[in-house]
Amino acid sequence: MLIRDVREVETFKDLPAVGETGILYYEKQLYRVWLWGGTQYYQIAYQPPVETELLTNSDENKNFISTTKIIHVEHVKPPTFAEKVKLFINAFTVIVAVVATTVGFLAAKYL
């Protein structure tokens, strides 16, 4: 399968009911990548949440500093074109490996 394009959606609910073959769907809200498999979507990439420490300093009291642990998904910047290309290549490599394995299995079984 050849990956032809990447389409961005906000959430999983925004994916089309029936996807297109050869299209990667990038879920911006959770940084997940989905691939249509003919009958359902398959998640092929995910960036998990990162635990960080948030330091706060009160304006009323300059001596007051607290440390709070929070869990969040880093929304630093959207992926660059180069990162999208790298994702294409990784997905394509996985797909080629699956197709080659399937073809090899079928050839061994029926030839």
**Residue from 11, 4, 13 nearest 26 by CA:** 11
* Three-point CA angle 92, 31, 38, nearest 5°: 45
Which domain does 96 fall in, by range? 5-48+83-110
Instruction: Tell me the pTM.
Output: 0.44
Q: What are the distances in angstroms from CA 55 to CA 60, 61, 65? A: 16, 14, 7
Q: Does residue 10 fall inside a structural domain?
A: yes
pLDDT in tens, 71-110: 444 445 677 788 888 888 888 888 888 888 888 888 888 8
Q: How many domains would you assign to the chain? A: 1
User: What letter represents residue 76's amino acid?
Assistant: V
35 burial class (0-12, 13-18, 19+ CB within 10 angstroms)? buried
pLDDT in tens, 48-69: 555 555 445 444 444 444 444 4
- Report the pLDDT value the prediction gives residue 105, as an integer from 0 to 100: 84
Q: Does residue 60 fall inside a structural domain?
A: no
CA 94 – CA 12 distance, rounded (Å)? 22
pLDDT in tens, 15-37: 999 999 888 898 888 888 888 88
Q: Does residue 31 fall inside a structural domain?
A: yes
Q: What is the greatest pairwise CA distance in the chain?
A: 80
Q: Does residue 63 fall inside a structural domain?
A: no
- Report the pLDDT value the prediction gives residue 38, as an integer from 0 to 100: 86
- Report the pLDDT value the prediction gives residue 44, as an integer from 0 to 100: 85
Report residue 57 as tokens: 């300093």
